[in-house]
Structure 1
Amino acid sequence: MHFALRPQLHGHETFAAFAEAQTLGARDLIFTQRILHKTFMQDSAAQVLFYDDFCDGEPTDVAVDEMLTAIRKMDFDRLVAIGGGSILDSAKVLALDSEVDVAGLFEAGVQPSRKAGLILVPTTCGTGCEVTCVSVFDFPSIGSKIGKAFDAGFADHAVLVDEFLSKIPYPVFATSSADALVHAMEIYLAPKATPYTDMFCMAAIKSILEGYMRIVEHGRESIQQDARAYLIASNMAGIALANVLAGGVHAIAMHFGSVHHVPHGEATRLFLPPVFKIYYRKAPEGKITEIAQLITEILKVPQDGTNPFDALDSLLAKVVPTKRLDEYGMTEGDRRPYAAKVIETQQRLLVNNYVPLSDKDIAAVYTDLM
C-alpha cells in the first residue's frame, strides 16, 4: 500500500488574502485567463502570462508547445497558476526544467526536474489537479487525449480560494463538480484503492451529492453557500487521484472529448451512469454496494428494487444536463471504432476498472447514450 499527500494545502477567502500570505510580487509569474486577472488580480505586482493568448479551449500539445516557447523567454522564481484544470495541467509542464517539446516530454522515461517554484490555485471545483502531478493534453494527431504523470509536477502549494467560485458560470460549476464526483466514485472502486483513498472518496461523494440535492430543493443560489464544501470535495477527490488513477469512465471520456471537442467534465459526466450500471450489473455484491447504499440514503431512493444508479442518473439530469451522443455528432457506426480506440489508447486508465470492460461493453455504453 502507498499513500502520499505532496503539496502543502492552504485556504483563503479572497485572492487578496492569498497574495498577502504568499507575498506575491515581481519575481512571481501568474499564469491565468484574462477575465480572471481583470476580475480578481489587477492590483497584483506579479508578471502575467495569459492562457487565452495560446488556447481558447482545452490544451493541445501544439498550444502548450507555444506556451513553452513564450515562458522560456521569461525570468521568474515562482509560477502561480490560477484557473481550471486546463491551466493547472499546462502549468505543471511549463514549470519543468527542459528544452524539449510536449511530444518529447510525453515520451516514456522522460522526467525533468522543476526549474521554478509552483503554486496551483483552482477556480473550479472539479479536477482536483492542484494536488496531482498529471497533465492531460489533447493530441489531435492521434485523435485522443493522453495523460502523463511528472514526478516534478506536484506543486509546492495548493491553494483553495473561496472567492473564485463567486462568479463561476453555472455550466462550468456543474460539469467540474460532476468530474470531481466521477473521480471519487471511480477511485473508490479501483483495484489499488486504499483505506486512505476510500476515506477521501466517500467524503467527496457524500458532500457533492448532498450539495446537488440542495440545488434541486432550493435552487442554484445554494451553490455559493456550499462553495467551500465543493472546493474541499474536489480537493479530496484530487488527493485520491494523486494516489490511484481513475478508470473506465475517464478512459471513454478521453477519446470522446477529443473527437467531439467536449469539455472534460461534461464528457465524464456523460459516461458515469452507463458505466456504473454495467459495473453494478456485473458485480453487485462487491465494493460498489457501499456507493449504492450512500446514494440510496442521500437521494432517498425507494427500497423497492430501484437501481440507485438510475436514481443518480435522474439527479444528474437535473443538475448537470447534457445531450445525447448523436447531438455531439456521433453516429451509430462510430460505436465499434470508438470502443476499439479506447482499448488501444487508454490502457493506463482501463486497468483501474472495478470490473473489466470489453469492447462490447464500451460499445454498449455508447448505445445507451445515443
Structure 2
Amino acid sequence: MLIDYSLRMPKNIFAGENALEQLDSILAGSIKKVVIFTDKGVLNAGLTEIPKQILAHKGIEYTIISEIPAEPNYHQAQEIVNQFKEEKADFIIAVGGGSVMDVAKLASILATDDYTVKDLLDSPLLAKKQVATLMIPTTAGTGAEATPNSIVAIPEKELKVGIVNPEMIADYVILDGRLIKKLPKPIAAATGVDALCHAIECYTSTKANPFSNTFALEALDLIMNNIIEACTNPEALKAKNNMLLGSFYAGVAITSSGTTAVHALSYPLGGKYHIPHGVSNAILLTPVMRFNEPVIKEQLAVVYDRVVRGGNPQLAADEKSKAILAELERIVEVLEIPTSLKSFNVPEHDLEGLVEAGMQVTRLLVNNRREVTPEDARNIYLEVL
C-alpha cells in the first residue's frame, strides 16, 4: 500500500551569525513599500533597527505596525489586517514572536477585501497569498516562521483555534541568535518548551512520517541539548542559534505531521484563562506524555538514542522511554516554568468546561496515538489543577 506524505517549507532560509544582514539581498528586487509587523516590546528593545537601517539605505518606503497584542483574538487580528490594507504595501517583514508572525501571515493572504479572518475560521483555504513575507523570529520559539498556521482566539467560545492554509508559508526566513540574546528568561523558557512540545508531539503523532521524523528528531537533539543554557546564559550565542534552528525544524515537522493532545488540551487554557501558550503546553507536557507512554515507548527510545549524550544504548525501550520522560520533566523544572494551574487561579469547578473545550480540538486529538476520551482529558486536567 502506498502511503502519501508531504513536506512544505519556506522558500528561502538564512540562519547563523549575522544572518540578518541577508536582508539586503532579499530586498534587491522591485519592492516599493514594506510594512514591518512587530510589537511594542520588540520595537522598544531595538530589534527592528537593522531592518529599518537597511530599508532606509535602499530607499524603500516602510511603515511599522506595532500594536499587535499577545495571543490576539480574531477581531484584533482583523483590525491589524485592516490597518495593513490601507498601507498598500508589496512586502511584509515580521519581527517578533508567534503572535506577530501569525497576524502577518493572515495579512499576507487577506490584503484584498474578498475574505475576513472570521471567514477563514470556517474555511481556512479560501484565501491566497497576495503579499510576499519575511519572518524574523525573536523567540525560539513558536516555530511560526515555518508553519502555514495562524493561531487566534475565539472569545465567544473561550478557545484558541489554528487557521491552517499552505499559502501562509513564508517566502523568506531569517534566524539570527542576536535577536534572542536579551530575551527574558521566562519568555525564553516558555517559548523554548513550546518548540520542544512541537518536536516531541510531531515525532509521536499518528501522522509522523519519514519527512517529519527527520526534522523532529534533529529538533529534539538541538532543543534538549541547548535549551537550558540558551535560557539561562545571555552570552550563549551558539546555544541560542541552535535553539532558533531547532525551533524552525520543529515548525517544519508540524507542516508534515502535527501536534497532538498536549496542544489540544492547552488551547482552552489560553482561550479562557489567557495563560501564555508555551506555559500551558509546559504544564501539560509531562502528564500527556505519561498518558501516551504505553503506545509511544518505541518512539521515545529512538529519541533517547538520538539526544542523550553518553547514554546506554543497551537499555530496554521501557527504560529509555522513562529516561526521556524524566528529562522532559527536569527541563521544565530547571527552567522554573509552572507545572500547575493553581498559580493561574483556575478553579476546579471549571473542570467540565475545560474537558468540553479540549475535546473540541479534534484537529489535533486525532493525531494522538492513544485515544483521548473525555474521562482521560478530565484526569489529565485534574492532575494539573
Q: Same fold (TM over 0.5)?
A: yes
- Tell whether 2:42 aligns with 1:36: yes
Deviation of residue 132 (structure 1)? 1.1
Q: 1:311/1:115 Cα in 2 relative to 1: closer, same or farther (>3 Å)?
A: closer
C-alpha contact (below 8 Å) 1:59/1:138 kept by paired residues: yes
Q: 1:287/1:35 Cα in 2 relative to 1: closer, same or farther (>3 Å)?
A: closer
Q: 2:352 is matched with which residue?
A: 336
Alignment equivalent of 2:299, drawn from 284, 287, 304 = 287
Q: 1:81/1:215 Cα in 2 relative to 1: closer, same or farther (>3 Å)?
A: closer
Q: How does 1:1-370 map to 2 (within 5 A)?
A: 1-7=4-10, 8-11=12-15, 13-14=17-18, 17-23=21-27, 27-38=33-44, 39-40=46-47, 41=49, 42-43=52-53, 44-45=55-56, 46-51=61-66, 53=67, 55-96=68-109, 97-99=111-113, 100-108=115-123, 110-212=125-227, 214=229, 220-221=233-234, 223-280=236-293, 282-283=294-295, 285-291=297-303, 307-308=322-323, 309-344=325-360, 346-370=361-385
Q: 1:70/1:192 Cα in 2 relative to 1: closer, same or farther (>3 Å)?
A: same
Secondary structure in structure 2 of the residue aligned to 1:146: strand
Deviation of residue 339 (structure 1)? 1.2
Q: 1:285/1:233 Cα in 2 relative to 1: closer, same or farther (>3 Å)?
A: closer
Number of positions where the alignment pairs a residue of Structure 1 with one of Structure 2? 364
C-alpha contact (below 8 Å) 1:210/1:298 kept by paired residues: no
Measure the CA separation in 2 of the matches of 1:78 and 1:95: 9
Structure 1 range deviating more: 271-280 or 327-336 = 327-336
C-alpha contact (below 8 Å) 1:143/1:255 kept by paired residues: yes
Measure the CA separation in 2 of the matches of 1:76 and 1:215: 36
Measure the CA separation in 2 of the matches of 1:179 and 1:80: 23
Deviation of residue 213 (structure 1)? 5.5
Q: 1:50/1:109 Cα in 2 relative to 1: closer, same or farther (>3 Å)?
A: closer
1:103-132 Cα shifts (integer Å, max 9, x gaps):
112222642112211111111111111111
Structure 1 range deviating more: 156-165 or 106-115 = 106-115
**What residue identity is the alignment partner of 1:362?**
A
Deviation of residue 212 (structure 1)? 3.7
C-alpha contact (below 8 Å) 1:27/1:47 kept by paired residues: yes
Structure 1: gaps (5+ residues): none
Q: 1:212/1:35 Cα in 2 relative to 1: closer, same or farther (>3 Å)?
A: closer
Structure 2: gaps (5+ residues): none
RMSD over aligned CA atoms reads 2.6
Structure 1 range deviating more: 180-189 or 107-116 = 107-116
Measure the CA separation in 2 of the matches of 1:328 and 1:105: 31
Deviation of residue 50 (structure 1)? 2.3
Identity %: 22
**What residue identity is the alignment partner of 1:19?**
L
Measure the CA separation in 1 of the matches of 2:70 and 2:189: 17
Deviation of residue 172 (structure 1)? 1.2
Measure the CA separation in 1 of the matches of 2:211 and 2:345: 41
Q: 1:133/1:74 Cα in 2 relative to 1: closer, same or farther (>3 Å)?
A: same
C-alpha contact (below 8 Å) 1:299/1:311 kept by paired residues: no
Q: 1:159/1:330 Cα in 2 relative to 1: closer, same or farther (>3 Å)?
A: same
**What residue identity is the alignment partner of 1:76?**
A
C-alpha contact (below 8 Å) 1:201/1:237 kept by paired residues: yes
Deviation of residue 310 (structure 1)? 3.3
Measure the CA separation in 2 of the matches of 1:213 and 1:110: 38
Deviation of residue 167 (structure 1)? 1.8
**What residue identity is the alignment partner of 2:93?**
V
Deviation of residue 101 (structure 1)? 2.5
C-alpha contact (below 8 Å) 2:149/2:164 kept by paired residues: yes
